[in-house]
C-alpha cells in the first residue's frame, strides 16, 4: 500500500516552499520531524526535500542534527529590494552613535511591524526587534506611529481582533488605544512603557515621504532604551526627528 495515501493536488514547489516556511523566528532551528509537522508533509517527503535543500545550501544542518536556514538563502535574501535599508542605514548609524541606544526603522507590512534596519552599539540593551522580524503594531513605539497614521478603517479593523498582550502593561482595550493613537497624532510621536518587553521603553516618530510635516507616513524610526533610562527619552526626541526628516527627504522617489 506504499504511496497509496498521497495528498493530491499539491505541487512540489508548494511543498518546497512549505518546508522553507516552517522556519520562523520562534522556530529558527528544527529537527526533521518538526519540519514535517510544520510544513504539513509526511516525514519521508519532508526528508527528501530537506536533503535536497540542504545539499544546495538553502538549509544547513546543525551539529545536533536539526536544520536551519542556510547561508545561501541569506546571501540570496540580501538581493531583495533594500532601498529602505540602504537609505536609512547611515542615518541610523549616526543616531545610534549620538544616543548610544538601539535604533531601528520599521514599516507596516500587513497588520504587523516589519523591522527593516537596526543599529546598536555595545552599550545598548538587548531588545525584541530584529532585522527581518515582526512585532505587533499596538505594543511597539514604531508600531503605534504606523498605526496612528494608517487611517480609521485600518485601525478599526486592527482593533476588532483580539490583540496580543506580551506584558501586563500592553494597551489592548480599543477605547484606550484609540485615545493613545489620537495623542500620538496630536504630539507627533509615540512611546511605549514596557508594553512590548518588560524592562524596555521606546520612543518613535513618523518618517514622511519627502520629509516635512505633511508627507504621507511611510515608515517609523524608533529608539529603545532600558526602562531605568526612560526619563532620557524626551531628550532623544530632537535627534529622532532629525533622523526621520533626513530619511524622509530621501524617500521622495520610490520605496
Partner DNA sequence: CGGCCCGCTTCCGCCCAGCGGAAACCCGGT
Partner DNA sequence: ACCGGGTTTCCGCTGGGCGGAAGCGGGCCG
Residue 121 contact, options DNA, a copy of itself, none, Cβ 5-8 Å cut-off depending on partner type:
a copy of itself
Based on the shown chain and the rule CB under 8 A, indicate whether residue 119 belongs to the binding site for a copy of itself: yes
- For 143, the enclosing helix (H) or strand (E) is helix 141-148
| Tally of residues, the chain | 255
Nearer to DNA, 48 or 100 (CB): 48
Count residues binding DNA (CB under 7 A): 27
Residue 43 contact, options DNA, a copy of itself, none, Cβ 5-8 Å cut-off depending on partner type:
DNA
Site for a copy of itself in 49-68 (CB under 8 A): 49, 52-53, 56, 58, 60, 68
Based on the shown chain and the rule CB under 7 A, indicate whether residue 72 belongs to the binding site for DNA: no
| From candidates 77, 151, 199, 234, binder to a copy of itself by CB under 8 A | 77
Nine-digit cell at 18? 512549505
Residue 232 contact, options DNA, a copy of itself, none, Cβ 5-8 Å cut-off depending on partner type:
none
Give the DSSP letter string of 36-80.
Answer: HHHHT--HHHHHHHHHHHHHHTSEEE-TTS-EEE-HHHHHHHTTS
Based on the shown chain and the rule CB under 7 A, indicate whether residue 32 belongs to the binding site for DNA: yes
In the complex, minimum distance from the CB of residue 53 to DNA, in angstroms, rounded to a whole number: 12
Q: What is the dihedral of CA 146, 149, 155, 158, to 10 degrees?
A: -10
User: Going by DSSP bridges, is the β-strand pair 112-119/67-69 parallel, antiparallel, or unpaired?
Assistant: unpaired
Contact, 213 vs 50, CB < 8 A?
no
Amino acid at each position: 500500500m506504499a504511496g497509496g495515501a498521497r495528498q493530491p493536488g499539491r505541487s512540489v514547489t508548494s511543498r518546497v516552499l512549505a518546508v522553507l516556511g516552517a522556519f520562523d523566528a520562534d522556530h529558527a532551528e528544527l529537527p526533521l520531524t518538526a519540519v514535517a509537522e510544520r510544513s504539513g508533509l509526511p516525514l519521508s517527503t519532508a526528508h527528501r526535500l530537506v536533503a535536497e535543500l540542504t545539499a544546495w545550501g538553502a538549509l544547513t544542518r546543525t551539529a545536533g542534527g536539526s536544520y536551519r536556514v542556510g547561508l545561501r538563502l541569506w546571501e540570496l535574501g540580501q538581493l531583495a529590494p533594500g532601498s529602505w535599508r540602504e537609505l536609512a542605514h547611515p542615518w541610523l548609524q549616526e543616531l545610534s552613535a549620538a544616543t548610544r541606544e538601539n535604533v531601528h526603522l520599521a514599516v507596516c507590512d500587513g497588520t504587523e511591524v516589519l523591522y527593516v534596519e537596526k543599529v546598536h552599539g555595545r552599550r545598548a540593551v538587548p531588545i525584541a526587534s530584529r532585522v527581518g522580524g515582526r512585532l505587533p503594531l499596538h505594543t511597539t513605539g514604531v508600531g503605534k506611529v504606523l498605526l496612528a497614521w494608517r487611517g480609521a478603517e485600518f485601525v478599526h479593523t486592527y482593533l476588532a481582533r483580539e490583540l496580543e498582550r506580551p506584558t501586563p502593561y500592553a494597551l489592548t482595550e480599543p477605547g484606550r488605544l484609540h485615545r493613545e493613537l489620537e495623542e500620538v497624532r496630536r504630539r507627533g510621536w509615540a512611546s511605549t512603557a514596557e508594553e512590548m518587553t518588560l524592562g524596555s521603553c521606546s520612543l518613535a516618530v513618523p518618517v514622511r515621504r519627502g520629509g516635512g510635516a505633511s508627507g504621507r507616513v511611510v515608515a517609523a524610526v524608533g529608539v529603545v532604551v532600558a526602562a531605568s533610562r526612560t526619563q532620557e527619552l524626551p531628550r532623544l526626541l530632537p535627534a529622532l526627528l532629525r533622523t526621520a526628516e533626513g530619511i524622509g527627504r530621501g524617500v521622495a522617489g520610490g520605496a
